[in-house]
Each structure stands twice: as structure tokens, then as C-alpha cells.
Amino acid sequence: MTDPRLAVIVLAAGQGTRMKSSRAKVLHPLAGVPLIGHVLATARELSAAHIVTVVRHERDAVATAILDLLPEAIVVDQDEVPGTGRAVELGLAALPVDFEGDVVVVSGDVPLLDAGTLGDLIAAHRAESAAVTVLSAVVDDATGYGRIVRDASGSVLRIVEQEDAGADEREILEINSGTYVFAAGALRSGLPRIDVANAQGEKYLTDMIELLRAAGSVVEAVAAPDSWMVEGVNDRVQLARTAARLNAMIVRGWQLAGVTVQDPATTWIDIRSTLAEDVELLPGTHIAGATTVARGARIGPQTTLTDCEVGEDATVSRSDATLAVIGAGASVGPFAYLRPGTELGDKGKIGTFVETKNAKIGAGSKVPHLSYVGDTTVGEGSNIGAGTITANYDGVNKHATVVGSHVRTGSHNVFVAPVRIGDGAYTGAGTVVRKDVPAGALAINVAPQRNMPGWVAQNRAGTAAAVAADAAGSEATD
């Protein structure tokens, strides 16, 4: 049920210079979702009546991603006035003029803050009838953060930014997480009065604390249960640390749900993937994107599955697959490369050093060794010989190969597409299949073999081969 008295403003207009990236910071992926996607998901969990996002840097890419992730979000552009205070002022202006509830302010670059912690913050804020409640955190190293300045009795006086703090204030280890709950009315009256007279020449949202206190309003700061929850991603070191922490939580969640994870440290599971009970993940496995793995399947070691669907009891070993469907009881790898559009039927096999693309391989059919199979349909119960290549590309267009059911193709065949092999047909080893093969036929086009006795003794005299041939009783002919 939506809370008509709750709005969320997500700040995402900052430059993110420390990422040193051509990509906007909030669009860097974390567990397979852009950073800001985690924040938007949390915002949605709060059931707020309005979710406003403020953008500026890389505006179009960020706005597109936001609307993709959360179509009901309101996107607001920040103008040339810099600072978190200006961002919130513009976000507030996008809310209905008569909105009189609470405004939660969060940063688009703080992905691990969960809805439960925010819910507690909102509850504390409402219980105190506060004008603002800041989520703080106690950290070991407060460098770079705004500090919470309290008086002797513990009441919050103000927040001072690193750049503006005196030596004593820099000793404070309680920091501002950049997450707040404000009474909408307090923001409306206070924000226009904040100036940019500070070390960074920005309109600081944090100046609201001192201003509200001076007006006699209730000002609170509540510490987060753990400081990692409020850690922002400002550079790639923090990005990796945040990703590892989130992954550890995701892996643990699946372990408790019945998934065996042999080596949590080298197993990565994206947040949109799902795993059934009794799935087994071996070391070095990445379950990426929106992959689903059914009960009893065994994945890894050293395997990446991106947006795949894996059936019950299937096995995938040392392989890479994207947008592939792997049937129940099927086996893939070791060392297979399944590209988009691969569909392997139940109990099928795509074996060692096999690459597939847009290939539908029917139930029980096998491509066991050293092959490329593209733009191909294979029926049921067929066996594709070792070293088979579908020549699907004529340099301009792609063409299809259609193999029927219960076909046996020989080793080292080339299927020059477009070509069709009928049900139950055979092809000989080394066949270059240029014409359709009718059902039940054997296709061969290999040239007759000619043996030249004594050729080695004559042409390679004195070599180890000649000595071995001589010992085997081979005679030179003239």
C-alpha cells in the first residue's frame, strides 16, 4: 500500500569524477544492475507516493536508465547551481504543491542501504515529530565525509563538511551518510535561504540542520546499524569492495535457500538470477544477468552463464553461455561456448571445444567434440561427428542448416548452408555436404585413397620414419 505522506528524492546529478570514467558513476554495474538500480529498488520498497530522481551529469544516459528501471520515477534536471541542497530544492519542486508529508533523501551512489534501515529511520523521525532526521554512521576513518557536530548533551548542532571543518571537528568519527528524512514543509521554507558561502561554493543540503535547529525545530541524527550500509561508491576501490560485500550477502542467501556453493569467494551471483534447491556451484562460477538454474543442476568450475535458463540436473563445466537454454539432464562442456539463441534439448550434449550460435539442438542430440554449429536446427537423437563445421556465412548472408532426427554425421564434415539432412541419414567422415541429403541416405564425397608403397624409403631415406618402416618389413620399390 502506498504511503501518501511519503516521497523519496534520489540524488544522482553529481559528476563522480573519482571514478575516472566516461560512464556516469551511477550506471556502473553492481551485481548485474546499475548502481542506481539498487537505490531505486530500495526506494520502491518504501511504497512512497512519489519517487523523484535528480540528474545532470551524463543526463540522457542516466535518465534513460532510471526510467527503464523504474518507469514511475519522476526525472528532474539540476541547473547550474551546484550542491546537494540545490538538487533537493529542484526535486522538491517536482512534488505536488500540497504535498505535506516526509521526504526521504538518498544518494544514487549508496547501493547497500536497505529498506528496513530506511523504514526504521522514517519511524524514528515520525516518533519525534522531527523536522529532519539524519542517518549517521560511526566510522574508523571519517576523511571526506561531513561530520555530525553535537553539543555536550548530545543534541545535534550542525553538520560540517570536511573542507569547512576545523581541526577539532575533523576528529569527529560520526559522519553524515547523506541519507535523511525531512518534513516537506521544513525543506520548502529552509532551502531558499541556503547560500553557497562555503569552501566548495555549493548549496549544501547539510546547512539545513543548523538552520532548522536555529528555528527551534526538532533535529535528530540516528546511527546506522553498520557503517558499510551507508558507504558510497566514489571510486573503483569502493566499487569493488561494495560489489564483494553485496555478493557475499547474495551467496549466503542462496546457501541458506539450499544451494551448495563450494567456494563463496570465487562465486558471483547477480541479483536478478535465481537458483533452485540442490543446485551446486563449483569454484570460479558467475551466474550473471537474469539466469535461472533448476533443481539439481551442477554449474562450474570456471563457468559464466549470462541470461541463461538451465534445466533440472543439467551440468555445465568450464564454459561460457549467453542467452542460452540448456535442457533438463543436458550436459555442456568442458570448454564450450554457447552464444545467444542456443537451445539444447533435454539430455542433449554440447561437448568439448564446441561453439554454438542460434542453434536448436533437440532432445538427446549430441555435438560432442570440436565443432561450430550456427544457424542450425538438429532434431532428436542425432549425433554430430567430431570436428563438424556449419558453413553458415557466405560472406554476405547467413544461411540455415537443418538436420533431422536420429541422424549420424561423420567426423570432420562441413555443412555448406543452406542444406538439409533428412531423418535417419548418415554422412561419411570428411564429407563436405553441399547438397541436401534425403532421409535414410548415406552421403559421401571423399576422393578414393591411393597408397604408394615404399615412398618413404625412396624419398625420406635415413629418417626415423624410413628406419621404422624398414624394421616393419616395408620394401623400397622402384
List interacting residues with ligand UD1 (CB under 6 A).
11-14, 54, 78, 82-84, 86-87, 107-109, 145-146, 159, 161, 175-178, 204-206, 232
**What are residue 199's phi and psi, to 5 degrees?**
-60, -30
Q: Which is nearer to ligand UD1, 31 or 87 (CB)?
A: 87
Minimal CB distance residue for ligand UD1: 146
Residue 11 host element (H or E):
strand 3-12
Binding residue count for Ca ion, defined by CB under 5 A:
1
11 is in an annotated binding site: yes
**Which residues are CB-neighbours of 141 under 8 A, at least 6 positions away?**
none
Q: Is 125 labeled as catalytic in the residue annotation?
A: no
446 close to 419: Cβ distance less than 8 angstroms: no
198 is in an annotated binding site: no
- The least distance separating ligand UD1 from the CB of residue 109, rounded to whole angstroms, comes to 5
189 is in an annotated binding site: no
Collapsing DSSP to helix, strand or coil, 157 comes out as strand
**Which residues are CB-neighbours of 20 under 8 A, at least 6 positions away?**
235, 236
Task: Return the C-alpha cell found at 430.
Answer: 570428411
Amino acid sitting at position 88: V
328 is in an annotated binding site: no
Collapsing DSSP to helix, strand or coil, 193 comes out as helix
- The least distance separating ligand UD1 from the CB of residue 178, rounded to whole angstroms, comes to 3
337 is in an annotated binding site: no
Q: Say which entry of ligand UD1, Ca ion, none residue 84 contacts (CB below 5 to 8 A, set by partner kind).
A: ligand UD1
107 is in an annotated binding site: yes
- The least distance separating Ca ion from the CB of residue 259, rounded to whole angstroms, comes to 34
Q: Which residues of 254-264 are buried (b: 16+ CB within 10 A; e: fewer)?
A: beeeebebeeb
Query: Given the rule CB under 5 A, which of 32-40, 228-236, 265-273, 344-352 is the region that contacts Ca ion?
Result: 228-236
Task: Return the C-alpha cell found at 359.
Answer: 542453434
Which of the following is catalytic: 38, 57, 369, 412?
A: 369
- The least distance separating ligand UD1 from the CB of residue 317, rounded to whole angstroms, comes to 42
Count the residues in the chain: 478
- 364 belongs to the binding site for Ca ion (CB under 5 A): no
Q: Which of residues 194-223 bind Ca ion (CB under 5 A)?
A: none
- 82 belongs to the binding site for Ca ion (CB under 5 A): no
- The least distance separating Ca ion from the CB of residue 51, rounded to whole angstroms, comes to 20
Instruction: Look at phi and psi of residue 257 and say left if phi exceeds 0, alpha if psi is from -120 to 50, else beta.
Output: alpha
Half-sphere exposure (Cβ direction) of 291: Cα atoms closer than 13 Å? 29
147 close to 165: Cβ distance less than 8 angstroms: yes
DSSP-derived pairing of the beta strands 298-299 and 132-138: unpaired
- 232 belongs to the binding site for Ca ion (CB under 5 A): yes
Q: Which residues of 29-38 are buried (b: 16+ CB within 10 A; e: fewer)?
A: ebbbbbbbbb
339 is in an annotated binding site: yes
Could you tell me which residues are annotated as the binding site for UDP-N-acetyl-alpha-D-glucosamine?
11-14, 25, 78, 83-84, 107-109, 146, 161, 176, 234, 339, 357, 372, 383
Active site residues: 369
Residues at the contact surface with Ca ion, assessed by CB under 5 A: 232
Could you tell me which residues are annotated as the binding site for acetyl-CoA?
386, 392-393, 411, 429
Could you tell me which residues are annotated as the binding site?
11-14, 25, 78, 83-84, 107-109, 146, 161, 176, 234, 339, 357, 372, 383, 386, 392-393, 411, 429
